[in-house]
Structure formats: structure tokens, C-alpha cells
Amino acid sequence: MELIIREMEKGEREVEGTIPSKCSVKGYRVKLILRGEKVVEGKCECGSFPCPHSSKLYLVYMRAKSLGKPHNSS
């Protein structure tokens, strides 16, 4: 899974990725806007927010952050 993290203004961070799902063969594209560690905004291809896909993306991001793994950034 590719995780894209972009630094934004006001100390916000945009996290984007495709989350595998039982309800979609290709998975869902999810975007989260984080301020610190708090989700302030988000969007999911499933049409609902918050949703299980956004929660999974947040967990993947926090895991990568805690492991100090490099990420793609734009």
C-alpha cells in the first residue's frame, strides 16, 4: 500500500492512500487532513465519512509514523 503524506499550512498534514476493502475489489482511495494527531477533515471514495476505510488509513499512518518508515511526499 502506498501512503502519501503532504505537509500543509497551519501545521496540518494531508495523508492519502488506497485501503483494501471487502466491499471493493480495487480498494478505496482515502484522504485525511490531520492537525497534530487529530483528524480534522477527510474524504473517502465509498461516499461516507467517517468510515472504516478512513479509520484504517489513520492506523496505517500512525503505525508508519511510530516505526519511522520513510514515506512519499509531494
Backbone φ and ψ of 45, nearest 5°: -65, -20
71: its cell numbers: 514515506
Name the strands in the sheet holding 38-44, side by side, starting at the edge strand that comes first in the sequence. Answer: 3-7, 12-21, 24-35, 38-44
Is 80 exceeded by the pLDDT of residue 66?
A: yes
The pLDDT assigned to 21 comes to 86
24: its cell numbers: 471493493
pLDDT tens sequence across 27-55: 899 999 999 899 999 999 999 999 999 99
